[in-house]
Chain A
Amino acid sequence: MMNKIWLIMLISGISTLIFINPSQVLEAVTQGALDSVNLSMRLVALYAFWLGFFALLEKTGVAGKLAKGLRPLVGFLFPKAEDESNKFVTMNMSANILGLGNAATPMAIRAINSMDDGSGKATLNMIMLVVISSTSLQILPSTVIGLRATHGSAAPADFLVASIIATLVSTFIGICLVKTYGMIGNRLKGRKAKKKALGSLPLMIRE
């Protein structure tokens, strides 16, 4: 998936630029690389802070308690997850709701690592985590409110209700999609297993 998107973006971009302004290709590539270094510098500082803070949460026992308190919800969304994954998932969701995307990311990376079964394929729980983070409820999109205020809005926060409804709807639909996908997958697997069992039956009789 990422491979295709990456190639499409680059091929369509470069082939357009060749016609418009070929000198911009190298410039854009270099700029992208430089931007990523700048961003990593900022992110490493933020990740360090949030990972430190998470260690504090763990040490004081708050992380464990929060995970336990939210178990009914997290357990429904992420069935059969280990305690370790549960804790990271809980922290990820809390950070997302508070609008702390940079705190949510390191937690999610750890959650995914703890869910990794080595098959090279994303498990249903991993898909759920990506979908929930992507559609997550944000109480306060402070960036937008700030930008609206600087552009002279009479009511900078008046889109908030609509925005919250939008995220609630998207999260709900996302959860439904992943759950349905999981159910269909299970059913197909069940059918395959049945076929296998039936297929091996005549052989056994022959023997």
Chain B
Amino acid sequence: MSIITRITTYIIPVIFLTILILSFVRKQNGYNAFLDGSKSAINLMVGVFPYLLTIMIAIQVYRVSGVSSVIANFISPAMNLVGIPVELSELMLIRPFSGSAALGLLENIFATYGPDSHIGRSASVIYGSSETIFYIATIYFSQSKVKRLGPAIPFALISTFIGCVIGIFVLQFI
């Protein structure tokens, strides 16, 4: 595994270098191109910011209130049924909303149960194979006129959940 880790640390620097050399060889004005591209970031952020603020206020209230742990207790039996350790219900619940909150929980789990325990490893799979789905759905559409997302969020949630269940199942054999 350490070989894979080592190779992946080189991927991004090598991509950077290749593109810069290519721009030099093809006699393109890379400096101006980069400048033009980065200019659009401010406008992009102006559009994204209100969405970010609106969702993050709700996430903070939700987190502080501890509602997620109440719901986590409630759904624990169902989690157990599909092989997800009960201790990870809250992680599963908060992960789609907030990456930093989930990271906090992950750290907590590692500190309590140890990273190499079944719970610790399952938590690693959950965090490593899922995304902040609500954040993605909100920000992606922030610059468009689309108001109705259809089944985008439920589909993403369902497939992530099934993926996690299978990942944790596989964990027992490796």
Residues of A within 8 A of B (CB): 1-2, 5-6, 9-10, 12-14, 16-17, 20, 24-25, 27-29, 31-33, 35-37, 39-40, 43-44, 47-49, 51-62, 98, 100-101, 105-106, 108-109, 112-113, 116, 118, 120-122, 126-127, 129-131, 133-136, 138-145, 147-148, 151-174, 177-178, 181
Contact = CB atoms under 8 A, between A and B. Distances in A.
6 contacts: A37-B53, A56-B33, A98-B12, A112-B144, A156-B115, A163-B128
B136 A133 contact: yes
Interface residues of B, number: 98
Contacts, number: 343
A187 B95 CA distance: 35
**Majority-rule SS of B interface residues:** helix
Contact of B156 (A120, A165, A174): A174
B56 A28 contact: no
Contacts of B1: 155, 157-158, 160
B129 A5 contact: no
A6 B152 contact: no
Contacts of B78: none
Contacts of A53: 16, 19, 34, 37
A153 B137 contact: no
B48 A109 contact: yes
Interface of B: 1-2, 4-5, 8, 11-12, 16, 19-20, 22-23, 26, 28-30, 33-38, 40-42, 44-45, 48-49, 52-67, 70, 97, 103, 106-107, 110-111, 114-116, 120-121, 124-125, 127-131, 133-134, 136-153, 155-156, 158-160, 162-164, 166-168, 170-171, 174
B142 A170 contact: no
**Majority-rule SS of A interface residues:** helix
A170 B8 contact: no
B17 to A, nearest CB: 12
A121 B148 CA distance: 5
A60 B82 CA distance: 49
Nearest to A40: B49
A60 B143 CA distance: 27
Contact of A13 (B42, B67, B167): B67
Contact of A130 (B37, B48, B120, B140): B140
A166 B163 contact: yes
A28 B61 contact: yes
B33 A55 contact: yes
Nearest to A166: B167
Contacts of B58: 6, 9-10, 13, 32
A49 B125 contact: no
